[in-house]
Amino acid sequence: MNYISQAAFVLLAGFAIWLFIKNANQIKKNILLGKDKDLSDNPGLRWKNLFLLAFGQKKMFRNPLVAVLHFIIYAGFIIINVEVLEIVLDGLLGTHRLFLVPLGAIYPFLINFFEVLAATVIVVCVIFLARRNIIKLRRFISKDLNGWPRSDANYILITEIILMSLFILMNATDRALQVQGAAHYNITGDFIISGYIAPLFNNMTVESLVLLERSCWWLHIIGIFAFLNYLPYSKHLHILLAFPNAYYASLDDMGKMENMEQVQNEVKYMMQPELAPAGDAQPMKFGAKDVMDLSWKNLLDAYSCTECGRCSEACPANITGKLLSPRKIMMDTRDRLEVVGKNIKANGEFKPDGKTLLNDYITIEELRACTTCNACVQECPVSISPLDIIMELRRSLIMEDSNAPQEWNAMFNSIENNFAPWKLSPDDRDAWVKEMN
């Protein structure tokens, strides 16, 4: 029977890991559809950002209470999964509490710590469910989250509660079996939380308790494998991608915009025609119309988005009722990237589907509402820059489609014809000096 259990566990673990790697590779391929961008400079500062922003969740602590609650869930995910290592090894080797003897007195301390952490995770998940569904904070009831995104957040919180409850119940039934002297259930003593629950099972038979304990064990590990493979379809992929995203975050001063060399050359050739290259120049493409025109970092941003809404909550355009929502910009980019990825997977290459990120997913009205104030970039806890995507789409809109507000067109015409924003001939530019006489 034990060999059957081991074989079943190996098949389950193998399938779960294979499926996760398969989906992770597809996400990697999608991200690499973006244009190349060198972000390998200053590794020391980048590692510092990773530890402060991803591990330390520095930006979250602007709201200390929420930050502590979120850190509990984060720590629970990271630390309690150390306990999963024992479960996995037990499943592979057919053992039970493999680390009990080697760790000695340290083992009860660790399990007690895990149980306290599991209990606090349950409490925090309940609080977060209430914030979303009872208190209904503004950023959680936004139309951005209508449909699947709102359900996604609730599913994850409920799953966390179930997994933590199964862990505590597994320990409680294990302790009840120890008290009854069941074979293979070595004495661990009472744990801090499950120890209070274990007496509730004293009237159950050993067979029933074993069935309950094994059910909790299997459901717990199946739940973890299911959670692992749910991540690629969920906003909670940020649990993994927040780390590389923080490492590759921009190190430039906030507000510094990336100059386009093509545009600089156009101006330079206009001022000094003799510098223009001879022959037919390759047609230049300005900005981004679809996800393939964005950088790989923009696409990594899209997959790293937590959909927390802090960016939209800080956005002055969004606050004043305009259509722009930085969170929606990231969600739309990710949605379009998923469609493009499936298109390429099905056809071997991208077959035009009559849609683009610009216009079909993100509208002109949204783009023009942006004030480029960087509030969204400042607030994002995982170093995402919706502004980069907005700027690239606006560049394409204006420089490729010649679609700019009428007020801007007059300025553009003056710059093109007069080399200045004003309707003054270049020959008259120094006329003001004569008036000074």
Buried b (16+ CB within 10 A) or exposed e, 50-72: beebbeebebbeeeeeebebbeb
- Is 432 within the bounds of a domain? no
Inform me whether the pLDDT recorded for 1 exceeds 60: no
Are residues 230 and 268 located together in one domain of the fold?
Answer: no
How sure is the predictor about 78, in pLDDT bands with cuts at 50, 70 and 90?
A: confident
Q: What whole-number distance in Å separates Cα of residue 123 and Cα of residue 133?
A: 15
How sure is the predictor about 280, in pLDDT bands with cuts at 50, 70 and 90?
A: low
pLDDT of amino acid 103? 86
- Is 119 within the bounds of a domain? yes
- Is 50 within the bounds of a domain? no
Are residues 406 and 267 located together in one domain of the fold?
Answer: yes
pLDDT of amino acid 437? 66
Name residue 362's beta-bridge partners: 358
How sure is the predictor about 410, in pLDDT bands with cuts at 50, 70 and 90?
A: confident
Are residues 223 and 298 located together in one domain of the fold?
Answer: no
Mean pLDDT of 164-184: 88
Domain that holds residue 219: 2-31+63-236
CA-to-CA dists, residue 351 to 137, 339, 344, 434, angstroms: 41, 11, 7, 62
Are residues 6 and 100 located together in one domain of the fold?
Answer: yes
Instruction: Give, rounded to a whole angstrom, the gap between the first and last alpha carbons of the chain.
Output: 105
pLDDT tens digits for range 99-118: 888 888 888 888 888 889 88
Are residues 9 and 134 located together in one domain of the fold?
Answer: yes
Task: Name the token pair of 148.
Answer: 């699947």
pLDDT of amino acid 73? 81
Mean pLDDT of 398-410: 84
Task: Name the token pair of 337.
Answer: 């990237």
Q: What whole-number distance in Å separates Cα of residue 396 and Cα of residue 411?
A: 18
Are residues 406 and 301 located together in one domain of the fold?
Answer: yes
Are residues 267 and 173 located together in one domain of the fold?
Answer: no
Are residues 269 and 365 located together in one domain of the fold?
Answer: yes
pLDDT tens digits for range 282-298: 667 788 999 999 999 99
Are residues 267 and 121 located together in one domain of the fold?
Answer: no
Are residues 118 and 163 located together in one domain of the fold?
Answer: yes
What angle do helix axes 206-230 and 2-31 make, rounded to 10 degrees?
Answer: 10
The count of structural domains within the chain is 2
pLDDT tens digits for range 382-395: 889 999 999 999 99
Q: What is the CATH number of the domain that holds 398?
A: 1.10.1060
- Model pTM score: 0.85
Other Cβ atoms within 10 Å of 39 Cβ, number: 15
Are residues 147 and 204 located together in one domain of the fold?
Answer: yes
- Is 202 within the bounds of a domain? yes
Inform me whether the pLDDT recorded for 428 exceeds 80: no
